[in-house]
Homo-oligomer: A and B are copies of this chain.
Amino acid sequence: MIEIRSLKVAGKVTLKHIADELGVSAMTVSRALNNSGSVQGKTQERILETARQMGYRPNHIAKSLVSRRTYTLGVVIPEISHSFFPEVIRGIEQVVYDKGYQIILAHSSEDAVREQEVVEMLLSKRVDGIMISCSQNTEDASFFENIAKTDTRIVFFDRCIEDIGISCIGVNDRNAAYKITEHLINLGKRRIAHLKGSGKVSITKNRLLGFEEALHQNRVNTFSELIIESGFQEKGGYEAMKILLDLPTHKRPDAVFAVNDPVAFGAMEAINEAGLRIPEDMALVGFSDDIRSPLMSVPLTTIHQPAYDIGTKAASKLIRLIENDKELQEKVMLISTLKVRESCGANQ
């Protein structure tokens, strides 16, 4: 039985406290607790027991200062209330937990200025790496390029800035956009609108590209007045749709492809308010397969993205980049699939 003179130390217990308690040096205590050999079995036991009794908790702040490693990763998302992101986070969390890391969650609120602020903060906190899905008005690629030059690793997921040598984990946006557009064409739609995202991020560009390609390949006219920037949120979708609905009746689209499901929900509301029926008067499809999409009064046809897997891939890629100097940057495109429901008019 070991007698503890000062079970309650003012403030937190440190190695030094334990060392003083037992009349050994802090180094010996450190070695004992880390099991790093060459501490007499008996001494080690006494140290472990005393540490337990004194409620010792290693100070990772101090450890990090020495090791220059925090085992903490930053995760920056634009909007936590889209069901897609919590699901990605769930994936990230699982990997990160298994590998012994933690995440600092930061929220850009779809604002590029705030995004840079929180990234700066993460860097000051010396996170080992950052996973980021860009805000809707992120334009400044050089900001990320400069970070990539430092020893802090970055990985984009979902909303990426492409071709600047930073890994991207997303889905085959272009191909999926192509498929869902072609699906509308096959249903006989000929005036197809696109509510497009914004900024320089991958999904804006690639979903638009896939859309245009599908029209072109299928010899369907593209109408520039039917391509409207909506951003990525419900409100933007509502407003963009209003613009389309204000067109003269014969110029209105017969189908709308929204850059993501929240935007489609906004559009849905505008269409309902205008007294039009989905899909009879106007077909509508989205992208991302939000948790609400199958539950809408007219279930939304969309592209299903493996959100959880995007999270696990992004996290494991980032950790590999951190832990292995040889690891290369790469673009990972997971497979997304067309989810046909009723809003496109196929299942009537």
Contacts and interface: CB of A to CB of B under 8 A. Distances in A.
A216 interface: no
Interface string A70-114: 101001000011010111011001000100001111110000001
A80 B93 contact: yes
A295 interface: yes
B58 A124 contact: yes
Interface residues of A, number: 48
Given A12-B150, A89-B80, A125 B291 contact: no
A105 B89 CA distance: 10
Interface in A103-146: 103-107, 114, 118, 120-126, 146
Nearest to A85: B86
A57 interface: yes
A126 B86 contact: no
In the complex this chain forms, how many copies of it are found?
Answer: 2
A247 interface: no
A1 interface: no
A339 to B, nearest CB: 16
A59 interface: yes
A126 B63 CA distance: 12
Interface of A: 11-12, 55, 57-62, 64-65, 68, 70, 72, 75, 80-81, 83, 85-87, 89-90, 93, 97, 102-107, 114, 118, 120-126, 146, 150-151, 291-292, 295-297
